Amino acid sequence: MKLIDPKIKYKIDSKRLFIRPIIIEDINDAYIGWLNDQETNKYLVTRQANRESIIEYINNLRKLNLDLFAVFDKKRNLHIGNISITSLEENTGCYGLMIGDKSSRLVGLGGEASLCVIKFLFDSLGIERLEVGANKQNSDACRNLLDLGFLEFSVNTTSRIFELSNVQWNINRRTNSRLYKNIKIEFLKFN
């Protein structure tokens, strides 16, 4: 199966990370392993994956002018996770974050990756408001969202995705813009 070229052609650069649209070489055994690992996929919609299902997921996003970005640790030049942009409607965007590499968790890289995508969506795509869903039991994700300036706005206790409560969070363009002022975004050319 062929991977559709990205529609959102940007590279995002921060102190410790660079983020770019995912390419076929990124869909390797390590990435597939993250999605099949029970600890990693505990709060994800995906519980099992293979190369074809991942390509299909990315292609479906790209057909809707959305995308999946690979997150890389600059120091190790290592793909550590992904950010998916899952909705861009009426000045509101949604994104999801997964840090798949276990050694990259709880060291601030997830927060830094979130700051990158927040700046990108606000400054490059003109989004005014972001919404993010997080399982209420995922205390690390909820704490990260609070630290980034997100506010809880609803709790869905009958989520079909999770058997536990799903919390919706939002942030507006003006909130905590000082946090992401040193992040650089550049347009990428793909052949």
The CATH number, out of the four listed (3.40.50.970, 1.10.1740.10, 3.40.630.30, 1.10.3720.10), of the domain defined by the range 10-128+177-187: 3.40.630.30
> With bands split at pLDDT 50, 70 and 90, how would you rate the model's confidence at 175?
low
CA distance 14 to 11: 10
pLDDT of residue 29 exceeding 90: yes
Domain residue extents for the chain: 10-128+177-187
What percent of the chain lies above the pLDDT cut of 90?
Answer: 32
50 Cβ neighbours under 8 A, 6+ residues apart: 32
What percent of the chain lies above the pLDDT cut of 70?
Answer: 76
> With bands split at pLDDT 50, 70 and 90, how would you rate the model's confidence at 102?
very high
pLDDT of res. 177: 56
pLDDT of res. 158: 44
DSSP-derived secondary structure letter, 181: T
Asked if 20 and 10 touch (Cβ cutoff 8 Å), the reply is yes
